[in-house]
Amino acid sequence: MKLSNIFSTLLCPAAVAFAAIAATGCSEEITVSAPDTGNYEVPSENKEVIYIADKDGKREFSNVEFRSNGSTSLRLFTPGNVSADCQVKFTYDPTALEEYNAANGSDYKIYPEELVTIGDNDGVVTIPAGTSRSSEIAVTIVSNGEMDHETSYVIPLRASVISAGDYVLGSLDNTRLIFVKDRTAAPDATKLGPDGLPGVRMVSIIESNDTNPLNHLSFTLGDTGIPFFDVVVLFSGNIRFNRETQKIYVHLNENLTPQLNNAEKYIRPLQNKGIKVVLSILGDHDGSGLANLTEQGAKQFAQALRETCDRYGLDGVMFDDEYSEYTKYRLQDDYPDIFCEESSLAGARLCYYTKKAMPDKLMTLYRLGNLNRFDKEDLMIDGTKVLPGEYLDMVFEDYGRGLRQEYFEGVSKADWAIYSQEFAQGRYASASDLDEMVKNGHKLHMVFALDPHRDTFKGNLTALGRCASSFYNSTCNYSGVVYDKDWK
């Protein structure tokens, strides 16, 4: 990430109309308008297709974090009005998870069936004749107080058609996995806004070569003791390519390696306060990058990212498309199975397969380079158009920029950070910008290069104070405790 320029399932076509509020563990009621049939897959054998989406419009990657109890909901859609009632039944089916784990090399654990309720009509939901969508069916979840709050569990559902005439379920819709975390016993970094609802999530991206991530423990909201930051991003790991083994891998430099190898010292104290820790990934001057991988290459690197997150207990990744030197090396000429011409489509594909490899982790990006926009060419997976809102959990605008939501269709304003701030250079957002964010429904904000050792730190504190005032009607409390770079 340049100091002068930075950091959320196939989306149902109808989901573009969803207005999702993605603050962790909290959402508002959604009003859904008519589906855009142009995004549907083409039915075969003269059959029409029934699609299933959750309350956030996602067809493949549903996530719920809750305390004591939680819920999500599912809804059926068809491209046009049905002539007779269409009914689909959802059942809890462990084999759906077994199939997923086998296909993806994963080992997700099942959430106990007795803690899950599927609707109030034996799991049956109906698209009434003459309409193109059903009412919502609620999937409610309760805690038994025994689940590990750091573990992602899965509620495995299978959908089956009861009566549908010429309609069949879409290729993605026979099973539905809901990834859940029971955070009942976990610390909570959620901060309420002036309206009493979960407020803006604060993200800090740090230069990991110099800055100790533990410095974020010194910032709290007023006198509440609640962590001021929700997410800390370690900038940065790299994508690299080994020409001998023809493997793409995650490279960690001499500063990140000791921090992650000592995660109990540098990472867990943040997570134990409810702060998520994410690893940034960018190019490293060898021709491999986030925007020149084929499907095979994207799947390979996505697995490497998942293994890295699992090994160090990280909460996700952030992509930043810089320093790859695509045109200098042209790896696609020598390794066409792994690399292709750089493009935003290739970048979108990697984001999708990364989310698919670890649906319970954050998949985020900084809007720069080939990851600047995903609206130029459609990403198609198994014949179905995939919208960015399906696989992106957060999008971060470059410093000072406002919203360009059309570039990443389906990503809600709640998950789109605007007016980002560059603390090393003293490039700050004004109070009016921050107030505008809140007024317009943005629930995410990013700062880069926070470090108590910098000459600009006094100005950083003032900027954080403006955030606290605009976002939470409160103050940012700094304890004065400084954590030095102490790794070797």
pLDDT value of residue 36: 41
- Cα separation, 5 vs 190, in Å, equals 28
pLDDT value of residue 194: 87
151 φ, ψ (degrees, to nearest 5): -95, 135
CA proximity to 369, closest of 419, 317, 302, 320: 320
Please report, for residues 157, 215, 374, the alpha-carbon distance to residue 363 in angstroms, rounded to integers and kept in the order given: 24, 24, 15
The arithmetic mean of pLDDT across residues 404-417, rounded, is: 89
pLDDT value of residue 11: 33
Annotation marks residue 254 as catalytic: no
7-11, 216-220, 315-319, 358-362: least confidently modelled range:
7-11
> Cis before residue 470, ω within 30 degrees of 0?
no
pLDDT band at 188 (very low <50, low <70, confident <90, very high): confident
pLDDT band at 39 (very low <50, low <70, confident <90, very high): very low
Burial class (CB in 10 A: 0-12, 13-18, 19+), 450: buried
Give Cβ neighbours of residue 139 (< 8 Å, ≥ 6 apart): 71, 72, 73, 74, 90, 116, 117, 118, 119, 155, 157, 178
Whether pLDDT at 169 is above 60? yes
Whether pLDDT at 24 is above 80? no
- Cα separation, 56 vs 133, in Å, equals 15
pLDDT value of residue 167: 86
Catalytic, out of 207, 322, 390, 397: 322
Whether pLDDT at 87 is above 90? yes
Q: What is the mean pLDDT of the chain?
A: 88
pLDDT value of residue 382: 83
125-134, 204-213, 403-412: least confidently modelled range:
403-412
Q: Taking the CA atoms of 190, 193, 197 and 201 in sequence, report the sign of the dihedral they define.
A: negative
Percent share of the chain, pLDDT over 70: 90
Q: List, for residues 423-440, the tens digit of each pLDDT value.
A: 999 999 999 999 999 999
Whether pLDDT at 357 is above 90? yes
Q: List, for residues 94-112, the tens digit of each pLDDT value.
A: 999 999 999 988 999 999 9
pLDDT band at 47 (very low <50, low <70, confident <90, very high): low
